[in-house]
Structure 1
Amino acid sequence: MIKFLVLCLIFLFLPFQAATRKQILIGEINHELKNLSALKIVVFKPTISEETEYASMVIQAFRNYFVKKLAFDLKDRENISIEVILITDKEGKGQIIEQKEDQGQGTVFFGKSKQEIKSSFFNKEGIQIYPTRSSSLKENLELPSLLEAQSDSVLFLLDFDNTIVLRDDQYRGQGEHLKPLEYKIKELLGISYPKILPEETSINIGDKAPNILLEGRKLSDYQGMILVLTFYPAAYSGIFDTSLITKRISEHHLSMMSCAMHITSFDGLSSKIGGLGVGYFAVSESTPEILANWKEVLETYHIQYINNPDYSLSKSFGSYNSNGYNKRVCVIIDKKGYDILPISIMINDYKLGKKKEIQEIVEKLMINI
């Protein structure tokens, strides 16, 4: 009787497994992809032109993280095989910019003019792009119609058998979506990644900051300095075009936030209130090579980028998210006259509208240095 019940449970469970582990008929996209032994990121996008404001950032995030494999340790890159496949929903009004060879010293955009940088945003080298898809594939995957240029993309991650292991219906290259994708890929490849842990208890204004390492030095070693730390999910998130960021700020869309907007705003703050007495640090888990590219692309030269691979800083300052990325937290630490660092401000949800508040706090603290 027990055996019979076990068998019944097995047969009941099998259809559920099949339903949740659907295979993409990859041959309907291109028959050459069918037997390709690689993990595949398949993204259905409205367009890859300037008509879709986040398209260029998604392309460069994929190129840096997965095509150039900068999200992985150097020792692991040789054995990694990942294909990135973009499928456009419709022809874009903006022209797709042709491929350009990378130049520079290890970074995608190092040493280029602004025009060259803008042209490089749509550098699709190493990414396979197909302008149409079959109606049967759309029906099989239950895809929404991406008629509007600013519609969300739909992302699938496929294992080596073309089986769907992750689906994201609201993909715009957000750091909050990019990091879970990266960690799922590393899991499938058997590569280590930061262990997802419960969130730490957040700290508050007036608490003593933990005396942990920052750029190889303990916080207590920053004698006589005000420290401003901001935490964000990931490099290569949001939109490249800073004119669009400016437009959003001018239209008071301060609740809209992306990592590009976050870091551009933070760099602007540090350029206004800088000097020997203040240190500005932008903290994420993104690798040093990715951060070097990110810095050049955003032209953010007034802040120090911190690679925090184990999220130790994030956990200490309450910015760690249990989904495996940083929450948008900003911390100002007042050093003057104290052996243990007191926190003067703690913003648990960094928004552009908070920039003025941060500026006023830093200015007051600088007077008292």
Structure 2
Amino acid sequence: MTRWRMGVGVGMLGAVCALSLTMAASRAAEMESDAVVGAPSPLAIGDRIDASLFCEAADDDWRDSIKLIVLAPARSEYDGMLKLAFREYFRNGAAFPHDALKTPIKVVYATGVRAETGGGFMGDFAHSDCTPATDPQALTAIAHATGVTLPLADDSDATVLLLDRDGTLRWRDTAYRAQGEHLKPLEKTVKALLGVSDAVARASDATLVGASPRVGDLAPDFEIPLPPPAGSLQALLAADAQRPAKTVPLSSLRGKVVLLTFYPAAFSGTLPTVQGSVADKVDAERKEFMRKLMSCSIQIGQLDKLSQGDFAEDDIVKLAVSASTPQLLDSWRRLLGTTDMRYVNDPDYAIAQRYGSYDAAAGYDLRKVFVIGRDGRVAYVDEDYAAGDGDAVQAALARAARETSAAR
């Protein structure tokens, strides 16, 4: 597995495109409770932990905060995306409604290695709200309290602990690799701890997941964002000011072919320097292996790059749907650097439920792909998109464009 090191300036999102390796299917263990993921440890939900163990020095701001403790290898393929996700979701609060963070969320990345010798993405210090402990005595205390002995071998799973203001353990994940399938349950737990109203929880409690529309069915309607107008910044602002509606119904796209995909979470996967090595390993005859390679960034990146073929540039519309916030999706779009994909926010999973794409038990979207013909009917369904499915989706797009063009 390729080892990598990458230094990128703090705050840099727009220039990076992300594709990744998550291994969620093989690594995510059964849920021991609503707040536990992964392997056993000496900790139990409800245990008190001295949060100052993880810092060389802890101030009052650290003590009075909700704390996310990340015990991770100094180098890993998922390191960069993990840190960006925690920065955007929790430190910047982009996953929450405006002014919802009445209690600050602090993060510390403890690798057991000093920054000058460890060399993780952007450094542990840049992404920590306290100086991570590296003293041998402190690492012994961390191992005794958590069962995690630092430093970890390169590319090991990370352990994520969520502590409330009193240091009580509310969440534990011992198999974290920046997977969307792990990030969404953590987000839900943090919201509950903050007392933030969670539309996702209400939707999952009140609504059963329906079956996916079948080929030939009329595609369920929903609102989609309008593409940004072209031109200078002044033209963009003027056009935006004159446009009263920010969305249009899917049914208004009749006459075009629509690629619709669902995915678990924004900011999951790894950063782009890993993508080449992952792509080189993909074997078209090893479907199960490729399924394990899948992540949200690979999924969206592959679908965004599917060719328009002989059809006009705006003849095929691509939509990626997840439960998020507008500000988080905007950062995610800039990070991925996609050119053809529109990002649809589905905060209460209402759209996903219409397409049978919401896993109510797990609390996130499944990786489904639909091709919708010019007549508004479903022309193709992929129930579980994997890294090797791009050619089949490309063929379905071309087929739908030709068949429905001939019928017009």
Q: TM-score, normalised by structure 1?
A: 0.80
- Name the SS for the 2:94 alignment partner: coil
Corresponding residue number in structure 2 for 1:29: 54
Residue pair 1:90, 1:147 contacting (<8 A) in 2 also: no
Cα deviation per residue 1:76-124 (whole Å; 9 max; x = unaligned)? 24x231111111144586634668xxxxxxxxxxxxxxxxxxxxxx893
Q: Measured at CA, do residues 237 and 97 of structure 1 come closer, stay the same or move farther in structure 2, by a change above 3 Å? A: closer
1-structure distance, mates of 2:264, 2:219: 21
Q: Measured at CA, do residues 234 and 130 of structure 1 come closer, stay the same or move farther in structure 2, by a change above 3 Å? A: same
Residue pair 1:25, 1:137 contacting (<8 A) in 2 also: no
Instruction: Verify: 1:251 aligned to 2:251, yes or no.
Output: no
Q: 1:234 aligns with which of 253, 265, 268?
A: 265
Residue pair 1:267, 1:302 contacting (<8 A) in 2 also: yes
> 1:328 Cα shift?
0.6
Question: Within 5 Å, which residues of 2 pair with 1:141-220?
Answer: 141-143=146-148, 147-193=152-198, 194-195=200-201, 196-197=204-205, 199-203=208-212, 204-215=214-225, 216-220=247-251
Instruction: Verify: 1:352 aligned to 2:357, yes or no.
Output: no
Question: Within 5 Å, which residues of 2 pair with 1:60-75?
Answer: 60-75=84-99
Residue pair 1:59, 1:123 contacting (<8 A) in 2 also: no
Residue pair 2:51, 2:63 contacting (<8 A) in 1 also: no
Q: Measured at CA, do residues 95 and 19 of structure 1 come closer, stay the same or move farther in structure 2, by a change above 3 Å? A: closer
Q: Measured at CA, do residues 29 and 182 of structure 1 come closer, stay the same or move farther in structure 2, by a change above 3 Å? A: same
Letter in 1 for 2:109: L
Residue pair 1:231, 1:282 contacting (<8 A) in 2 also: yes
> 1:147 Cα shift?
3.0
Question: Within 5 Å, which residues of 2 pair with 1:16-55?
Answer: 20-30=45-55, 31-32=57-58, 36-47=63-74, 51-55=75-79
Of the two structures, which has the highest relative contact order with CA contacts closer than 8 Å and spacing of 6 or more?
Answer: 2
Residue pair 1:281, 1:303 contacting (<8 A) in 2 also: yes
Number of residue equivalences: 321
Q: 1:124 aligns with which of 114, 123, 126?
A: 126
> 1:143 Cα shift?
2.3
Q: Measured at CA, do residues 271 and 166 of structure 1 come closer, stay the same or move farther in structure 2, by a change above 3 Å? A: farther
Cα deviation per residue 1:22-71 (whole Å; 9 max; x = unaligned)? 11122322352577111110110111xxx311111111111111111111
- Name the SS for the 2:58 alignment partner: helix
Letter in 2 for 1:334: G
- Point out the more displaced range, 153-162 or 286-295: 286-295
2-structure distance, mates of 1:159, 1:189: 9
2-structure distance, mates of 1:80, 1:274: 50
Letter in 2 for 1:44: L
> 1:144 Cα shift?
5.6
- Name the SS for the 2:388 alignment partner: helix
User: Percent identity between the aligned chains?
Assistant: 30
Q: Measured at CA, do residues 25 and 295 of structure 1 come closer, stay the same or move farther in structure 2, by a change above 3 Å? A: same
Q: Measured at CA, do residues 230 and 123 of structure 1 come closer, stay the same or move farther in structure 2, by a change above 3 Å? A: farther
- Point out the more displaced range, 248-257 or 314-323: 248-257
Q: Measured at CA, do residues 293 and 261 of structure 1 come closer, stay the same or move farther in structure 2, by a change above 3 Å? A: same
2-structure distance, mates of 1:264, 1:137: 38
2-structure distance, mates of 1:240, 1:91: 23
Letter in 1 for 2:255: G
- Point out the more displaced range, 85-94 or 313-322: 85-94
Q: 1:264 aligns with which of 291, 297, 301?
A: 301
Residue pair 1:43, 1:155 contacting (<8 A) in 2 also: yes
2-structure distance, mates of 1:274, 1:268: 15
> 1:126 Cα shift?
5.7
Q: CA RMSD in A?
A: 2.5
Q: Measured at CA, do residues 123 and 284 of structure 1 come closer, stay the same or move farther in structure 2, by a change above 3 Å? A: farther
2-structure distance, mates of 1:290, 1:38: 22
Q: TM-score, normalised by structure 2?
A: 0.73
Residue pair 1:254, 1:353 contacting (<8 A) in 2 also: yes
- Point out the more displaced range, 292-301 or 129-138: 129-138
Residue pair 1:58, 1:172 contacting (<8 A) in 2 also: yes
- Name the SS for the 1:40 alignment partner: strand
Letter in 2 for 1:254: M
Residue pair 2:44, 2:169 contacting (<8 A) in 1 also: no
Corresponding residue number in structure 2 for 1:111: none
Q: Which runs of 5+ in 2 are unaligned?
A: 1-42, 226-246, 283-288
- Name the SS for the 1:73 alignment partner: coil
